[in-house]
Structure 1
Amino acid sequence: MTRLLLRADGSGSIGIGHVARAVAFAEEACERGWDVTFSGLLDGADWFADRLGELGVRHLPPADEAALGQLAADVDAVLVDHYDLGELRQPLNRAGAALVSLEGGTFGRRAADIVVDAGLHGEPRPPDGSPVVLSGPRFAPLRRAVVDAREQRQPGSGPPRVVVVVGGGALWRDTVTGLLRALRDTGLPFTADVLAHGEPELPEPAPGQRFQLAKPDTELPKRLAATDLAVSAAGVTLLELCCVGVPAALVCLVDNQRAGYLAAVERGLAAGLGTAGELAASPAHATGVLARLLADRVARERMAADAAATVDGRGAARVLDAVEDVLR
């Protein structure tokens, strides 16, 4: 039996995208009969903790570099999805484990037995001795619930249904409030589910508009399956939106989202609202982009089809196939 250790963190301040990818790998590994352990924070991600529990995955406290070296002696592979840990390959290899490292461009970059950069950007990577580099959205690890939503996708026929989902917790409260005002200022009818921590300010809706505030939960993929437009950050959720086939308008919150944001906009897989700072300084641009998307169903569905063709949801399986090859 292959033994896999997953290392990732999630919290209200850093978001839960790294943990979402870890859950995708846990689902695929458990289906293969592997023994899986997770090490990391799960603050503000109780539903992911529950999912790991359903799978029978053991949960350990967050391990630093030294602790990972010790834990590696009892597993065959360690998969690290963390931007703040340093070089790990040599100590993990000495302990008898292969290292799989997820990175996003230069963020989280380290030498590994298998490197995975599943972003849309396709940046060249300087050689560092890593023998296997898996690059591009074919390797994006997505949870089963997201892949199921892809199969269940059914846009509405009435006024557009909008989902506003911006990770990072209360830190981005003002940005979410700005996005909601931009939506309101389109003057067009819609129903918007606002999935956010931090209690953003809901604007007074224009005629035919409705805002509903809810905490992020396990129902996001189901919501996306019936959504006509998503307003989202450009992190892991971007690849989930592509897989499901949801038209999206993106805001770039942090530097590690910039490459994916630009690639998605340049390739026509999503529309760009700018950075959080640009949104605050010039909300009229976001209002114009959102108005065009809300008014043009054909353009939305063309964008969604291109996005779905780019991300098929089989990334976790492809990565674990590569792990099996390395361990042979």
Structure 2
Amino acid sequence: MRKKQIIFETAGGGEIGYGHITRCIALAKEALLRGWEIFFEDTDRYTKSLIRDVASKTEISFSAWWDYQQPDEDQIICRVIDTPDEEHPLLKAWQDDLKFAVVDKAFSDMAGLATPGIYPIPFICLGKAEEVVPTVVKFVEELDLAGFLGPATIVADSKYASRLKHLTEDWYETRVLSDLSPEQMAKEMVRCDIAVTKTGQLLLEAFCLGIGAITIEPTGGHDELHKKQQEKYGENWPTVCITHNRYHFRPNDIARMNPLTQVQEAAGTLIAKLENRPELTCMGYQAKKLVDGRGAERVLDAIEAEIESKGKTV
């Protein structure tokens, strides 16, 4: 029986988001555990550097991710595409059913283990896209102006670390972190009570650990995705969405560091949530019921089932 091979074609960063790469790598890690051979399509230099950066933070050698010899096209059983123009249906499946939400093994190993402390702690991380990262600074500034004094865990690009540390130097038990591996992210997030992020990979990871979220949505596309999920799950959707739709940006526009009023609203919402421990507990309970950390297994199971039923590649 031939060894299963899976090839990934992906893109990420400012164009479609860093999380698209981390999602593909999380699925690749699960495939490696099954003995599949993994390849990443040779792509543009920027995306390749992001893949290398993300993969280098895993516990598996980078050489396992990238084979510079092209795979045998006749041996490939699955080509997973996650680009601005096309997406593999099973990678998109989580939008319709969160049991297919792919999260890194570091999070699935800690599924549902979020442990509230004496004081509620927010986990603030809005991603790594260049257009979105500065929003973290604006958001922390608004928290400071509102009188928030911690504790908090903030994850941001290293070039903003000194500014954020200066803003939070008088805050109680607050840390500013950068360049974390999936394992480090999971260990930091599991100590927290609510995430501040955007709809995407980190939101799914937060749910898996058992914490709810406040989302600051950067684009019309994010607004629509969040609205779809909120309509499906209703009162059981453990997220408060701070949308920019009312600011009349075109659907795919970045909200240009987000309007100040949007960030102010998010800061006020977070402070109110932190003062309501029962609500945080309820959001966490709802979250862990939605994402159990086994999405990557289900995606690969579905790929294998389709291969067996059709007797061909997918």
Output the TM-score relative to the length of structure 1: 0.74
> Which residue, 195, 211, 216 being the options, matches 1:230?
195
Conserved 8 A contact 1:14-1:168: no
- Could you say what secondary structure the match of 2:267 adopts? helix
Unaligned runs of 5+ in 2: 245-254, 309-314
1:186-205 Cα distance to aligned partner (Å, 9 max, x none): 42442222211241743745
Is 1:184–2:144 an aligned residue pair?
Answer: yes
| 1:258 counterpart residue number | 223
- 1:325 Cα deviation after fit: 1.5
Is 1:156–2:139 an aligned residue pair?
Answer: no
| 1:167 counterpart residue number | 127
Conserved 8 A contact 2:9-2:83: yes
Of 223-232 and 34-43, deviating more is: 34-43
Report matched runs for 1:268-279 at 5 Å.
Answer: 268-275=237-244, 276=255, 279=259
Hey, which of these two has a bigger chunk of strand by percent? 1
Unaligned runs of 5+ in 1: 62-66, 86-100, 103-113, 123-135
| 1:95 counterpart residue number | none
> Which residue, 49, 54, 57 being the options, matches 1:43?
49
1:137-193 Cα distance to aligned partner (Å, 9 max, x none): 111111100112325421211x32222111134322431122112322442442222
> Which residue, 281, 285, 307 being the options, matches 2:265?
285
| 1:78 counterpart residue number | 79
> Which residue, 191, 214, 238 being the options, matches 1:249?
214
| 1:59 counterpart residue number | 66
- Could you say what secondary structure the match of 1:150 adopts? coil
Over 3 Å counting, the alpha-carbon distance change for 1:287 and 1:35 in structure 2 is closer
In structure 2, what is the Cα distance between the partners aligned to 1:212 and 1:222? 14
Letter in 2 for 1:303: M
Of 213-222 and 202-211, deviating more is: 202-211
| 2:103 counterpart residue number | 142
- Could you say what secondary structure the match of 1:298 adopts? helix
1:52-102 Cα distance to aligned partner (Å, 9 max, x none): 8537534268xxxxx9xx9644411111111235xxxxxxxxxxxxxxx43
1:211-233 Cα distance to aligned partner (Å, 9 max, x none): 43221311111111111221112
| Percent identity of equivalent pairs | 24
Of 228-237 and 272-281, deviating more is: 272-281
Letter in 1 for 2:38: V
Hey, which of these two has a bigger chunk of helix by percent? 2
Over 3 Å counting, the alpha-carbon distance change for 1:31 and 1:147 in structure 2 is same
| 2:248 counterpart residue number | none
- 1:273 Cα deviation after fit: 2.5
Conserved 8 A contact 1:4-1:36: yes
* Larger RCO, structure (CA 8 Å, separation 6 or more): 2
Letter in 2 for 1:117: K
In structure 1, what is the Cα distance between the partners aligned to 2:12 and 2:19? 7
- 1:117 Cα deviation after fit: 2.1
Conserved 8 A contact 1:193-1:211: yes
In structure 2, what is the Cα distance between the partners aligned to 1:316 and 1:282? 34
In structure 1, what is the Cα distance between the partners aligned to 2:73 and 2:219? 32
- Could you say what secondary structure the match of 2:110 adopts? helix
Of 227-236 and 206-215, deviating more is: 206-215
In structure 2, what is the Cα distance between the partners aligned to 1:49 and 1:71? 25
In structure 2, what is the Cα distance between the partners aligned to 1:184 and 1:145? 32
| 2:186 counterpart residue number | 221
